[in-house]
A and B are shown apart, each in its own frame.
Chain A
Amino acid sequence: MKKSFLILIIIYFACQNIFAQGVRIDNLPPQEAVKYVKPLSTYLGTFFNTGAYHNADVPDLFGFKFSIVGTLTFLPESEKSFAPNPGLEGSENFESTATIFGTQGGYFLSNTGFVVYPSGLGLKNIPLGIYQVAGSLFGTELMIRYFPTIKKDNVQAGLWGIGLKHEISRYFPLLPLDISVQLLLNRLKIENKSSDPTDYAKFESKNFALNVQASKTFAGLLIIYGGLQYESSNLDVSYYFKDPDGVFPSLADRIYDLKVDGDNTFRLTVGTALQLSFFVLNFDANITKQTTLSAGMSFEF
């Protein structure tokens, strides 16, 4: 119970970090804000589409599973910076600048003075966890993730996710492997709303995945599993553009709604699990744009 509570806290504070110092999406015009937050869209797609399985076998009659999944996502250097293109005349010193995960915001000299881009969170990697419960009947499993919307200060955050999995190898009893297909949908919403409308920001992440997974159990103890997954992610962002440098007067002082697609398409997962009576420990590697390791502990029967 303490661990699941810890996971909730981690998710919550990870959400709060988005509004931390240095991360100032409100300093960017919409065309630059899209590039700034795109790696976040990719990350959320990567995170939510991780850890959804460690065994393709679904009980023929009834099954139950409670899992805590920890993930560690490695951020490639290409996801930490982008080339600014503010579309201003007379700009000099175009250098790459930080994305939301980067370390160094750029700056350049425009006709009307310096334009300063925000820094990022300065992250090397992202550890994050989630819990999930699943129940199955007749070879079909429904998985649920849920974190109620809670509010602290001006930030409120909540998430839900579902997964539907069906074992297809049950129709082919001679197959040496267990094979299943699984559909995943996950949503996360974070909103920063205070009495000052210029502080408004909202992030809503929508993630979809469809996978084919296979596993083989040895001696009822060791499971080797893997899968190929198609996935997509989208981040809806609403924010108030303040234009602190005063160089985009025609765009300033209004709320923008952006749709930011993540770079999530396919992933390959390989992993292993150890089945110890009602407990299962698993570890897998996910090869995708943001390589992710995942470890899980499950209580299942």
Chain B
Amino acid sequence: MKRLLAISTVLTLSLLLNSCDPFEEYFINLKMDQQFQLYGIGPNITQQTNFCLNNYDDYNDNVDKIEQIKYVDAAYLTINASEGLNSDNLSLKLYESDGNTLLFDYNLPSFVASDYSNKALHIQLTQTEKERINQYLSHHQQNNCFVAVLTAENVRSNNSLPYFSLQAKIEFVAELKLKP
């Protein structure tokens, strides 16, 4: 009788104790949009923008639970542009918050703005570039700001006036690994 009672108690306690930690690590994808307004008389038009992870609610809501942040992906989309705008090269540079330490430099030769107004351009980085960003993000409590520079080089358009404009969006996706 005592043995049966002991076994039942152990089973019940085991069930309760094993149930205490039902959670496991989970991951949230943080999407960061950055809009650019490039305009000027050429030949190059450029804009620099600064942004920080704490501009985004998903980061702020989970900042105390973040174990790791990893760069995942990026894309470019044209929102609006001078008619027929094209350029010899579209360059996207991402720097650490100091504006000097380069994390990646992506270039697209023979850029035609309208090609990416209905079809996002997938920005694929090298493994080394991804590792550089991830190294910077490994101290995200301090290193959570970036400087992004978008440049269209040697721009041309169908406009008779030598004035060019490009409104564009860059999206970055990062993965937040969260403690249970």
Contact = CB atoms under 8 A, between A and B. Distances in A.
Say whether A associates with B: yes
B29 A122 contact: no
B180 to A, nearest CB: 6
Contacts of B23: 121-124
Contacts, number: 112
Nearest to A107: B29
B169 A113 contact: yes
Interface string A73-107: 00000000000000000101100001000111111
A93 B77 CA distance: 17
A283 B26 contact: no
A116 B5 CA distance: 52
B147 to A, nearest CB: 21
B119 A111 contact: yes
A92 B75 CA distance: 12
A109 B26 contact: no
Given A122-B180, A274-B8, A114 B18 contact: no
Nearest to B8: A281
A65 B24 CA distance: 37
A295 B9 CA distance: 10
A235 B49 CA distance: 46
Given A109-B75, A114-B73, A281-B8, A72 B120 contact: no
A122 B24 contact: yes
B75 A113 contact: yes
A72 B19 contact: yes
B15 A110 contact: no
- Main DSSP-derived SS at the A contact region: strand
A163 interface: no
Contacts of A119: 26-29
B2 to A, nearest CB: 11
Q: Which of B19, B21, B171 has the most CB of A within 10 A?
A: B19
Contacts of A104: 26-27
A111 B62 CA distance: 29
- Main DSSP-derived SS at the B contact region: mixed
A195 interface: no
A107 B61 contact: no
Given A109-B75, A114-B31, A295-B15, A121 B26 contact: yes
A149 interface: no
Contacts of B20: 127
B4 A274 contact: yes
B139 interface: no
Contact of A109 (B15, B62, B122): B122
Interface in B1-57: 1, 4-5, 8-9, 11-12, 15-16, 18-29, 31, 33
B118 interface: yes
A112 B26 contact: no
A124 B8 contact: no
A157 interface: no
A190 interface: no
28 contacts: A70-B12, A72-B19, A92-B122, A93-B73, A98-B26, A103-B25, A107-B29, A107-B173, A111-B118, A113-B33, A113-B75, A113-B77, A114-B73, A114-B120, A114-B173, A116-B29, A116-B173, A119-B28, A119-B29, A122-B24, A122-B25, A122-B26, A124-B23, A274-B8, A276-B5, A281-B5, A283-B8, A283-B15
Interface of A: 21-22, 70, 72, 90, 92-93, 98, 102-107, 109-114, 116-127, 221-222, 245, 274, 276, 281, 283, 293, 295, 297
Interface of B: 1, 4-5, 8-9, 11-12, 15-16, 18-29, 31, 33, 61-62, 72-73, 75, 77, 118-120, 122, 169, 171, 173, 178, 180
